[in-house]
Amino acid sequence: MLINTDGLAIFGPGSEWLWTMLQFIALGTTFVAIYRQLRTQQMEIREHTKLLRSQAHFIALALSQRAREVLITTEGFASVMNVAYSTPEA
């Protein structure tokens, strides 16, 4: 016989060991689940931060390109460029 079941109590007096063990298993499972959730959120935050930084970089480049238009010396060409940027569908 591998497991001695003599005097084994699942309910009632003497079963405290079983319920204590089950509580520790449930607590350990909860800690593992919380840890995995926090790791997942950390990875998502990193990805969103990368995306926001790339969008901010693109906007900074676009604004820089817009600032270069001011350097155009021909007034007529500058006004055509401004109209083109304000109405791209035209």
Structural domain includes residue 60: yes
pLDDT at res. 70: 54
Structural domain includes residue 3: no
- The pLDDT mean for the chain works out to 80
Number of domains within the chain:
1
Structural domain includes residue 40: yes
Q: Predicted confidence band at 73 (pLDDT cuts at 50, 70, 90)? A: low
Task: Enumerate residues 6+ apart whose C-beta is below 8 A from 69.
Answer: 78, 81, 82, 85
Structural domain includes residue 82: yes
Report if pTM > 0.95.
no
Residue 87 lies in domain:
36-90
Share of the chain above pLDDT 90, in %: 29
CA dihedral over 58, 60, 66, 69, signed as positive or negative:
negative
The DSSP 8-state label assigned to residue 37 in this structure reads: H
Q: Tens digit of pLDDT for each residue in 17-61?
A: 888 899 999 999 999 999 999 999 999 999 998 888 888 777 777
